[in-house]
Structure 1
């Protein structure tokens, strides 16, 4: 059985699907999660509170560091007020896909 993909490639980069937990005890990427509806997300935690965009900014910074990218290459595309977010990552989509699979390999079944 194939694990659903946690990102989508396009001509100018990828859109990453993230489930964010704000007000955590630490900033961390915790691997992959598949929801009951079959969608896959990267699980992320940030210490920042979800007020005035602070948690979103912390998530962008965390993902940029995790992917070794410039912060300007990582932006919230949708879900600014939701736990489930789509993050736009600019760059070579093939190189980003390789990096994402290396950092968060899909579960084998």
Structure 2
């Protein structure tokens, strides 16, 4: 997927709170990788296809880059096969 450029992403560092739930509306196979904040929900666009977990991994990495944390600190709690997903931040404060 390539490393996302931090300047192209919103600053989501305020979400780095242990146990914080992050609701995401996913759009796989998009023209470009992007995160848009809208109506209390994050819309995440990734170029990866929704097969074999590739889109979920791409979303996790994009979210992590915007939050300034490692992808391993984000756990997909709900929605692995759905466009509506719920990630939980499990890393340090």
Under a length normalisation based on structure 2, what TM-score does the superposition of the two structures give? 0.76
| Aligned positions, number | 77
Deviation string 1:15-44 (CA, Å, 9 cap, x unpaired) is: 1000000000111101123xxxxxx32111
Bigger Rg over Cα:
1
Correspondences of 1:29-68 after superposition (within 5 Å) = 29-33=35-39, 40-68=40-68
TM-align CA RMSD:
1.7
Under a length normalisation based on structure 1, what TM-score does the superposition of the two structures give? 0.65
**Counterpart residue number, 1:88:** 88
Long gaps (5+) in structure 1: 1-8, 34-39, 93-109
- Where is the strand percentage greater, Structure 1 or Structure 2? 1
Tell me which stretches of 4 or more aligned residues in structure 1 moved more than 2 Å. none
Long gaps (5+) in structure 2: 1-14
